[in-house]
Amino acid sequence: MFPDRSPAWSEVFVATVFFVLQGTELIVDVLSGSVTSWPGVIAGFVLMVCGIAVMTSSLGTRTGQWFENSSVVVRAAVLIGVLCLSVSAPLVVGRTPYFHAVRVLLILYFLYVVAFVAWTGEVSGLKPRRTPTD
């Protein structure tokens, strides 16, 4: 389910930004009962499950290798584009099922990265402190 490497700081940063921008608002909406599209929320969950299935396939592996081998400018452009889309979605489409699906995808991406960090025990070279044993 996870790649054979540690998560990068950029992945942790982007997932955290997505969660702060979209996830906290969805959690408030759910707790206050003002979610306008439960089908959108369910669709976001299903899309994330399908996305994880694709990530573990050969297509996902090739795409990940392309992304890792691309230049910093290309990676930054893709991440900034996704970030801009996630922030502008409420302004463009309003609170439609699409909007809720995107918000759920972003929250689940954040949870995926948290699980990835917990599974590897480190973030791109930053290892937990270990005390020397005698």
Report whether 10 contacts 125 (CB < 8 A): no
Q: What single letter denotes the amino acid at residue 40? A: G
Rg of the chain over Cα atoms, rounded to whole angstroms, equals 17
The tens digit of pLDDT for each residue in 72-115 reads 777 778 777 877 776 676 666 666 777 777 777 778 888 888 99
User: The whole model's pTM is what?
Assistant: 0.67
Distance CA 115, CA 106 (A): 14
Report whether 120 contacts 26 (CB < 8 A): no
Start-to-end Cα distance in the chain: 37
Ramachandran area for residue 39 (φ above 0: left; ψ -120 to 50: alpha; else beta): alpha
Q: What single letter denotes the amino acid at residue 100? A: H
The tens digit of pLDDT for each residue in 47-70 reads 888 877 777 778 877 877 777 777
